[in-house]
Amino acid sequence: MKKTVLVLVASVIVAVSSAQAEVSVNDNIGVPAHRVIVSTPPSVRFEVAPLFINSPRLGFYVGVDTPYDIIFSSDYFYLYYVNSWHRSHNHNGPWVEVPYRHLPPGIRSHRIEQIRSYRDREYRVYRKDRDHYRGRYFRPGHERKEERRYEKHERKEERRYEKHERKDDRRDDRKDWKEEKRDRNGHGRGRD
């Protein structure tokens, strides 16, 4: 019984002394402690590249139909994740945290709630009639609509030019053939 009491008293003394050691380490009671939060880059990846639409009220592309707030502006993708902004050249990262003051002015001029509201409005317009949507949109890894239009126009012009060239070649060939025929039949120049 004496041994049990001694072990119990010894454990209480050790507990009290460790509590005192902890108090002696934190002797700055009343001084506000500065919390340092080290965030790791988000590991946000998309199985399928998100669709980005350009809301005229925002002036930049916003990802739609995705659980993340992702923006494309100034040749970068910006991800709003856990109350901080991250940037990458690719929609799947790697993401690097960006201070708010280093965001493009267009993004800084809107609160995230505003961005979400304008995004949702524009996405409703897009979903209503996708085939005849007149706004600008793109999906990373796919050609943008404007680029496709430009390339289509270029191909059309090229075909028109080639068609014109073929037509000119045929006309020149016919002219040459007629001259050769005249020469063979004795109706050519130089004969009297």
Range of the domain at 94: 51-138
Please indicate, yes or no, if residue 179 is contained in any of the structural domains.
no
Please indicate, yes or no, if residue 190 is contained in any of the structural domains.
no
CA distance 23 to 35: 19
Please indicate, yes or no, if residue 24 is contained in any of the structural domains.
no
pLDDT at 24: 40
Please indicate, yes or no, if residue 100 is contained in any of the structural domains.
yes
Q: From 84, 119, 112, 76, select the one nearest 100 (Cα to Cα).
A: 84
Please indicate, yes or no, if residue 25 is contained in any of the structural domains.
no
- How many domains does the chain fold into? 1
**Residue 130 is encoded by which pair of tokens?**
């996708």
- Count the Cβ atoms, other than its own, within 10 Å of residue 11: 10
Q: From 42, 41, 54, 45, select the one nearest 139 (Cα to Cα).
A: 54
Please indicate, yes or no, if residue 143 is contained in any of the structural domains.
no
The one-digit pLDDT tens for each residue of the chain (192 residues) are 555 544 444 554 444 444 444 334 444 445 454 554 555 667 888 888 889 999 889 999 999 988 899 999 988 999 999 889 999 998 988 999 999 999 999 999 999 999 999 999 999 989 888 888 888 888 887 655 556 666 677 778 888 888 888 888 888 888 888 888 888 887 655 554
Please indicate, yes or no, if residue 103 is contained in any of the structural domains.
yes
Please indicate, yes or no, if residue 7 is contained in any of the structural domains.
no
pTM of the predicted structure, to 2 decimals = 0.54
